[in-house]
Copies of this chain bind each other. A is one copy, B any other.
Amino acid sequence: MNWSSLAVDLYELTMAQVYVKEGFTGNAVFEIYIRELPKNRGYAVYAGLAPAIEFVKNLRFKQDEIAYLESLKIFKPYFLDFLSNLKFEGKIYSLKEGTIVTHTIPLFAVEAPLPIAQILESSLLNIITFETLIATKASRIRGVSPGKLLVDFGLRRVHGIEAGYHVARASFIGGFDGTSNLLAGKELGIPVYGTMAHSYILAFKNEVEAFKKYAEEYENIVLLVDTFDIKRGIENAIEVAEEIKNAGKSLRGIRIDSGNLLKEAQRARKILDRSGLKDVKIMLSGGLDEYSIQKLLKKKAPADAFGIGTKLGTSADIPYLDTAYKLVEFMGKGVLKTSEKKETIPYLKTVRRFTEKGRIHYLIGKRGEELEGEEMLKEVYNSEKGEIEIPSVYDAKKNFEEEFEALPRIYKKIEKPAKIGVRLTSLLRGEIRRIKREIENGRNKN
């Protein structure tokens, strides 16, 4: 990605200017977490780490950006100088991409001088929220369609060209097999898939001709059979399958993109089988998501593959996560806010996960506490050492697959799932009480 560091909200810079002026450049810790999971989400799949680190590494304000900021007549020369020389200094902590997570636990934390950590707020929150949203959605679709080929077809309807990249990436981590998006294929080295559009058929004098010309050019073709009449389309595909046999080629599949997908798939399977084409796969597409795929498969729709676009790429049933990027520690002191329903938990954390009697819960404590089990929130990037532990997209996918395999079914239900629990250590609970008392006292002194 070719991001501008100016992808920042105005208030982040106005706050940072005061910090710089006041000498508030000590280390701060901000963390990203999900406040509450939406209805119908028993868990989330954490994603977005590698692109977030890329953003952090490329933090730089260019000359024309500084000139723009100057033109706003809000920023002072000392702060524009500060921005001109800015680069990331500090540490990033993170869970491993592809981890099954829940509300409240820190996914990602930044430890850096306060102005720097503040300036990164909106961009980091953006990237991690969106990829986590989509990896979660993808995992739900994977959950209801074991063994099926799942391809991201979302580019055309997602929220911008860049969104197409994130959707391909996050859905691959969350259990998809590949994408139609070539930019994502190139940048991430993930498999790309494609069939043909109705416009292709319409450009030829008839459907058979269109199919034949495609078959001449490619191996493993998938023919789109619903431009005019689906039954006739399948018959035409069979005609072409017979013809190409002589050339040593075979028809890999047909795609149906309209009509009653259950009935059409059943009819297609019958026609293909009758013609001895039992190996020809059926791919379905058109407005699909985990709800409609679960219905199709419960009714034994003979589908081998699904192309899923809009409802995956916009996470259509719930297009956002209630995430936050919050200051939890400043110069070694834990901080919290007490806003109604938006309370925060102080300090850089330590994170563990336990499974007891088929139920999962996370335990979070204050960093440095000694707890059983493996630390899940690891230092992954450091401005001096560089990348310490950023998994590749394939590693993240593998991590997800192992975790998803082990995830109890009660959490995987696509409606009314169980929710993963979260507990705080007694030390951390004690700190929260202490800081709240301090706030009360501080207030009384105002």
Please give the residue numbers on chain A whose beta carbons come within 8 Å of chain B beta carbons, in ascending order.
1-4, 6-15, 17-19, 21-22, 24, 28, 30, 55, 64-65, 68-69, 72, 74, 76, 114, 118, 121-123, 125-127, 129-130, 153, 155-166, 180-183, 185-186, 192-203, 205-208, 213-214, 217-218, 226-229, 232, 236, 257-259, 310-311, 314-316, 319-321, 323, 325-327, 330, 335-342, 344, 439, 442-443, 445-446
Bound complex: CA of A17 vs CA of B10, how far in Å? 47
Q: Are A123 and B161 within 8 A (Cβ)?
A: yes
In the complex, chain B residues whose CB is within 8 Å of the CB of A72:
185, 192
22 sample A-B contacts, Cβ–Cβ < 8 Å, listed by A number = A8-B182, A10-B194, A11-B180, A11-B200, A12-B194, A14-B217, A15-B196, A15-B200, A28-B203, A74-B218, A118-B197, A121-B156, A129-B156, A160-B163, A162-B163, A198-B326, A203-B327, A232-B443, A258-B340, A258-B341, A259-B339, A259-B341
A14-B194 CB under 8 A given contacts A123-B161, A203-B114, A337-B228: yes
Bound complex: CA of A443 vs CA of B203, how far in Å? 15
Centre residue among A1, A72, A122, A338 by max chain B CB count within 10 A: A122
In the complex, chain B residues whose CB is within 8 Å of the CB of A17:
217
Bound complex: CA of A55 vs CA of B326, how far in Å? 37
In the complex, chain B residues whose CB is within 8 Å of the CB of A208:
446
Q: Are A22 and B213 within 8 A (Cβ)?
A: yes
In the complex, chain B residues whose CB is within 8 Å of the CB of A125:
156-157
Q: How many copies does the complex hold?
A: 2
User: Could you say which of B185, B193, B319 contacts A68, with CB atoms under 8 Å apart?
Assistant: B185
Q: Are A227 and B314 within 8 A (Cβ)?
A: no
Q: Are B257 and A339 within 8 A (Cβ)?
A: yes
Q: Are A200 and B18 within 8 A (Cβ)?
A: yes
Bound complex: CA of A360 vs CA of B151, how far in Å? 41
Q: Which residue of B lies closest to A68 (CB)?
A: B186
Q: Can you list the 7 inter-chain pairs with the closest CB atoms, starting with the nearest?
A: A10-B194, A11-B194, A199-B327, A159-B159, A162-B162, A319-B319, A160-B162
Chain B nearest CB from A14 CB (Å) reads: 6
Chain B nearest CB from A181 CB (Å) reads: 6
Q: Which residue of B lies closest to A193 (CB)?
A: B10
In the complex, chain B residues whose CB is within 8 Å of the CB of A229:
338, 443
Chain B nearest CB from A93 CB (Å) reads: 17
In the complex, chain B residues whose CB is within 8 Å of the CB of A205:
442
User: Could you say which of B126, B155, B202, B335 contacts A7, with CB atoms under 8 Å apart?
Assistant: B155
Q: Are A10 and B228 within 8 A (Cβ)?
A: no
Q: Are A207 and B446 within 8 A (Cβ)?
A: yes
Q: Which residue of B lies closest to A208 (CB)?
A: B446
Bound complex: CA of A133 vs CA of B55, how far in Å? 27
Chain B nearest CB from A199 CB (Å) reads: 4
Chain B nearest CB from A137 CB (Å) reads: 12
Q: Which residue of B lies closest to A335 (CB)?
A: B202
Bound complex: CA of A323 vs CA of B287, how far in Å? 12
Q: Which residue of B lies closest to A11 (CB)?
A: B194
Q: Are A7 and B123 within 8 A (Cβ)?
A: no
